[in-house]
Amino acid sequence: MKFSIAHELPGRLRLRCPEGSFARAEGSVIGAILETQPGVTRAAVSHRTGSLLIHYTGDARESILTAVGLLDETFYKEIDGSSLVPQEPTLSESLTSLFGGVIGRALLPRMLRYGLTFLRALPLLGRGLRSLWRGGRLNVSVLDASAVGVSLLRRDFRTATVITTLLALGDLLESWTHKKSKESLADSLALNIDKLWIRKDGQEVQIPMIDLRIGDLAVVRAGSVIPVDGVVFQGSAMVNQSAMTGESEPVHRAPELSVYAGTVVEEGELVVRVTAFDSETRIHKIAEMINESEELKADIQNRAEKMADAIVPYSFLLAGGIYLWTRDATRATAALLVDYSCAIKLATPLAILSAMREGAKRGALVKGGKFLEALAAADTVVFDKTGTLTVSAPSVAKVIPFEGHTRETVLRTAACLEEHFPHSIARAVVKQAEKEGLSHREEHSTVEYAVAHGIASRLRGEKVLIGSAHFVFEDEGVACTPEQREVIGQEAEKYSVLFLAIGGRLRGILCIEDPLRKDAFDIVKRLHDVGIARVVMLTGDNLRVAKNVAETIGIDEVQAQLLPADKTAVVKRLKSTGKVVMVGDGVNDSPALAAADVGVAMCGGADIAQAVADVILSENRLHALIDVRRLGIGVMEKIHRNYAFIIGTNSLLLALGLSGTITPTMSALLHNLATIGASVYSLTPVLGKASESTAGGGNVPTWSARP
C-alpha cells in the first residue's frame, strides 16, 4: 500500500494513503489487520481521507510501517470486512435493543429479573472500580457506580434497573450525537466520485479518478460536482461554492479563474485544468483537519472537563451528609444521580465542532477549538501587506533600464532569477516576461536566496543581484548615481521597486504595482466594530508605500522595511500586552504566524504559511476574518450560557431530589433530558444566516489613518 507519514508523535502515527485507496468496508479490514500487529493498541481508518491513525507501544514503529507497506490491495479487497469488524448498529437499532431488553426482562420471573439487573449493573460497577484502582480519582464513573451499588445493596432492583437503563441511554445518545456531529462536518466536505470526464486529444473520455494526472483537462457540466481543484481553461459557468465559502449565490467562473473540488456547476460548462486532486484538494485537507481537530482542544474545554470531575467529590460529601442527617438512603441516592459533568463534557466539544463546521462554510478553516477561543479574546490584528492586504497577483507596471541596458534585457534577467522562488512578486516578474514573449533560459550559476532580501547569482562571470534597496545598496554595496536616485524616488512614491544590479552597478529597476484587495478598504473598520482595539500592518516594503496603503484603508499602526525576524519580534512584543492575530501569506510571514496567538493564512499563499497557520481563509477573502472572530465570540458565549443552564438545571434537580419532591428515578430521567437539551443547543448555528461580510466587497471608507 502506498502511504506517507502525515503526522507523528511518540506512540502515535498518522499515515495518509491516496484518496480512494479503499472503501469503508475495506478500511475495516485494514484496521483489523493492523490491530493484530505486535505493539498496536488501536487503529482507526478513514476511507474518506485515506487516513490511518495508529496507536502503539514500545518500539513497534518500524514493524508497523513495514506491515502497512506490505498490505496488498488484492488481499484486503477480497476479505469481507464484516467478518472481521462487526457493523456498528444504527441509533434506532440500539434504542430498540435497549428498550426491548427492558420490556423483555419485565416479563421474566422475579428472581431471574433481579439476576439480570445485577448482571446489567456489573459493567457500571466495574468501570467505577477501575477508575478508583487506576487513578484513585472520584469521577463520574465512580458516581454512577455508587448510585447503582446503593440501590442493589438496598435490594431496590426496580430503581437499579431504571438507573442502569437511563445511564445506558445517556451514554448511547452522547456517543451518537458526538459521532454524528463530527461525521456530518466531514461528510459535508466529502466527495464520492469514482470517475470523471476529461478532454484528451480533442475527444472526451471517461477515466477512473485514480488515472487522473495534474494538468489534465476535466470536463464538468451543469448539475455536476467539480471533482478537482483547478483553473478554468475553457468555458463559462455559474458555480455554487457554498460548500467551501458559504456564499449564498452562485459565482461566475471563466477562463483563468480558480475552481475547487466539492463545488457545483449550476449553469454552463467548464473545462478545468487540474492543479490538485484526491488528497491534495482543499476540501480533502479540510476533512483531514477535522480528524486532527480534537487534539487542539480549547482551554475552556479542558477547564470544563477538569471542573466537571472536580465537582464529583462534593456530590459524595453531599450524599454522605444527607444520609447522616436524614438516614434516608433514597434522598442520599438522589445526590449521586445528578452530576454536572456529563452535560459539560459533551456540550462544550459539540459547540466547538459545530462552530468549526460553520467557519468552514464561511470560508475560514479553523484547526482547533483553542484557536476559536483565542480569536474571541484577541485585541490586536496584524496584517502582512503584500499578498494579504494587496491582491495575491501583483503585476509589473514599469521596467526602467540604466547604463545602456535595454528594457528587455532587464526584464529577461530578472525573470531568469525570480522563476526559482514561489513569491507573488517573483511570479509577477516571470509572468510579465512570458507575456512579452521574452525567453529566459538559465545562463546563470546556482542562485542564493536571502529571505526578505533578494537573490544573488553569477551571470557570464559577473555577480548579479535582484531584490530590495536594503539588500542591493546596503548589504551588497552597489553604487547608485544621483540621477538614478531621483528616478527611484519618483517611482517609489507609487510602486514597490525591485533593483537589478550586475557587476556591482545598478542596471535597472522593476516597478511592481500591487493593488489593494477590494475587501481591504473596509476591513479595518469592521475589525474595530467586532472589538479589535488595534490593527497593525507589517511589511518589508519601503515606508512611503506602506504609509500610503495604511492611510488608504485606515490602519492604526504601520512598520516597514522589516525582515522576517523583525516581524516575529513585533508580534512577540504585541503579545506581551494582549492576544494577537497575525494574517499573512508568504514564506517570510511563517515565523510571525507561528509566534502569534492565532496565525491566519490566505489559501493562495505559500504552503509553509498554510502549514504553520491555525486558521486558513479558504477563498482569500479578508471578510471571512470578521466572521471567524464573531464565531469565536459567539461560541464562547454559547458555552458559558450552556454552563449556566447545566449548573442551574442540575442544582434544581438536586434540590428537588434531596427534599423528596421527586424520586431518584425521575431525577435521573430529567438529568438526562437536560443533558440532551444542552447538546442540541450546542449544535445550533452561532451566526445563523450568512452575514454581509461573507459576500465580500464594501465601499471605500472616508476615514483616514489613525495617529
Q: Which residues are catalytic?
A: 384
Residue type, 20: G
How many other CB atoms sit within 10 Å of the CB of residue 327? 9
CB 678 within 8 A of CB 346: yes
Query: What are the backbone angles phi and psi of residue 255, rounded to the nearest 5°?
Result: -50, 140
Close Cβ partners of 438 (under 8 Å, ≥ 6 residues apart): 408, 411, 412, 415
Q: Would you put residue 58 in left (φ > 0), alpha (ψ -120 to 50) or beta? A: left
Strands (E), 299-373: 364-366
Closest CA to 498 of 512, 485, 483: 512
CA distance 624 to 614: 14
The strand order across the sheet containing 40-46 reads 4-9, 12-16, 51-56, 40-46
665, 485 Cβ separation under 8 angstroms: no
The single residue listed with the C-alpha cell 504601520 is 558
Question: Which burial class, exposed, middle or buried, applies to 627 when counting CB atoms under 10 A from its CB (0-12, 13-18, 19+)?
Answer: buried
Q: Could you give the CA distance from residue 55 to residue 299 in angstroms, rounded to a whole number?
A: 25
Cα atoms in the 13 Å half-sphere on the side-chain side of 310: 6
Question: What are the phi and psi torsion angles at 194 (to 5°)?
Answer: -95, -35
Q: How far apart are CA 228 and CA 260, in angstroms?
A: 6
DSSP string, 134-181: HH----HHHHHHHHHHHHHHTT-HHHHHHHHHHHHHHHHHHHHHHHHH
φ/ψ region of 476 (left if φ > 0, alpha if ψ in -120 to 50, else beta) reads alpha
Among the residues of 206-249, which ranges form H helices? 242-245
Q: Cβ distance 465 to 471 under 8 Å?
A: yes
64 half-sphere exposure, CB direction, 13 A CA radius? 28
Helices (H) and strands (E) in the chain, counts: 25, 24
Q: Which residues contact 689 (CB under 8 A, 6 or more apart)?
A: none
